Chains A and B, each alone.
Chain A
Amino acid sequence: MNEVEFCLKLEIDAPALAVWVEQGWLIPDKTGPEAQFRDADFARGRLILEMTRDMGVNEAGVDLVMELVDQLHSLRRTMRDLTAALCRQDEETQFKILRSVGRSE
């Protein structure tokens, strides 16, 4: 969706969206003639709106939260990859790894 569709759907005004993009909280796809927002951007926008409108988080707070949310998801992704890799090992190797992180026995 483009900027106008995004604002209509989320019921916000264009200057608010401009701030979000400028702050780097949203990174639309700018490869085409006009910026395109993905479903992920919209879901992100809703989180930003709920924080600012309903939860009393100010701009600096949103900045901090979005940074940490992105770090958290990247960490979770890596953790999932690691766990999947661990699950692909044979039982002996899994046991050795678990034992050395102190989760087993």
Chain B
Amino acid sequence: MSRDPYYILGVKRDATQKDIQSAFRKLAKKHHPDLNPGDSPAEERFKEISTAYELLSDEQKRARFDRGEIDMSGAEQAPRDYYRDYASASDPGGPYHNSAGFADFGETEDPFSAFFSRRTYDGRFRSRGQDRYFSMAVDFLDAVNGAKTQVRLPDGTALDVQIPVGTRDGQTLRLSGKGESGIGGGAPGDAFIEVHVRPHRFFERDGDDIRLDLPISLGEAVLGAKIRAPTPTGPVTLTVPPHSNSGKILRLKGKGVPKQGGGRGDLFVTLKIVLPDSADPRLTAFMKEWSEANRQDPRKGMGIAP
């Protein structure tokens, strides 16, 4: 397919020289490679536009093209360099370096300001120290209640770390200024510590709440009782109502994890009935007699035959 300069410039075949010029100017401003330094295809588009314009802006060439005597290849232009190919002249130290685009960055306290507003590589470059990343394991209750601890660094030194109350598994703590020291008087970096919370023997975390399976005896379940139950802040007395089923959940309000905005989550205690360690002939005899008098099917409603 032969290329059509009228189509490329977007003008009609009877366009005046003025129309052609203004169409070219619009397209050239939009597609000139030096005005679009990051756009590689701009070069090919600009070449097409320039070639089309060279042909149509010359009345004689335009007339010969209209008669079909020549095509666009006659006006082909040689490959050329653009300024953007030499843009290293805009590097720091180059004659055309212009860091005015960063002037506002330099006024702030952020660690990159020195990097952005540098004018030359003159060795006066200040840089903030690198951040360091560690991970540490903490006990469940230390994470819930908060604690002071130490993390031992690869270089042998120890870093004091305050574990905030309510720290979650996987949470990252930031120790400002505890990273690598800065270059040329720059501020030190930060230390980031990822906290892994060790699981607890019987507490389980559920957001700001804690769950606990609490064993009770058959007698406590049937008759009810006041029993001692562990919480993250120490044991409390808990009332088990008479006739409490296994799986019954009791809520201890405010005995969960301290919340960020104040207050605490709850402790949910799930009762678990535990039979005596060894079979008791009196209990067995009683159960036999009792069961015969009290037919009960706890699985009715599950759609299975008794």
User: Which A residues have a C-beta under 8 Å from some C-beta of B?
Assistant: 27, 29, 38-40, 43-44, 46-47, 50, 54-57, 65, 67, 69-78, 82, 92-93
Q: Which of A38, A65, A76, A93 contacts B37 (CB under 8 A)?
A: A76
Distance in angstroms between the alpha carbons of A69 and B37 in the assembled complex: 9
Q: Does B87 sit at the interface, judged by CB under 8 A?
A: yes
Distance in angstroms between the alpha carbons of A82 and B111 in the assembled complex: 13
Closest chain B residue to A79 by CB distance? B38
Q: Is the CB of A50 within 8 A of B32?
A: yes
Q: Is the CB of B38 within 8 A of A73?
A: no
Total count of chain B residues near the partner, CB < 8 A: 35
Q: Which of B35, B91, B97, B133 contacts A65 (CB under 8 A)?
A: B35
Collect the chain A residues with CB atoms within 8 Å of residue B29's CB.
Answer: 55, 57
Q: Does B98 sit at the interface, judged by CB under 8 A?
A: yes
Name A's interface SS: helix
6 additional A-B pairs beyond A46-B83, A67-B98, beta carbons within 8 Å, are A38-B89, A65-B35, A71-B100, A72-B37, A73-B96, A82-B115
Q: Is the CB of A39 within 8 A of B28?
A: no
What distance in Å separates the Cβ of B88 from its nearest Cβ neighbour in chain A? 8
Distance in angstroms between the alpha carbons of A63 and B162 in the assembled complex: 58
Collect the chain A residues with CB atoms within 8 Å of residue B253's CB.
Answer: none
Q: Work out how many contacts link A and B, with CB atoms closer than 8 A.
A: 90
Name B's interface SS: helix
Contacting residues of chain B (97-147) with chain A, CB-CB under 8 angstroms = 97-102, 115-116, 133
17 sampled A-B residue pairs with Cβ under 8 A? A40-B83, A40-B88, A43-B81, A44-B86, A44-B89, A47-B32, A47-B82, A54-B24, A55-B28, A69-B34, A73-B37, A74-B91, A74-B98, A77-B88, A78-B102, A92-B133, A93-B133
Q: Is the CB of B90 within 8 A of A70?
A: yes
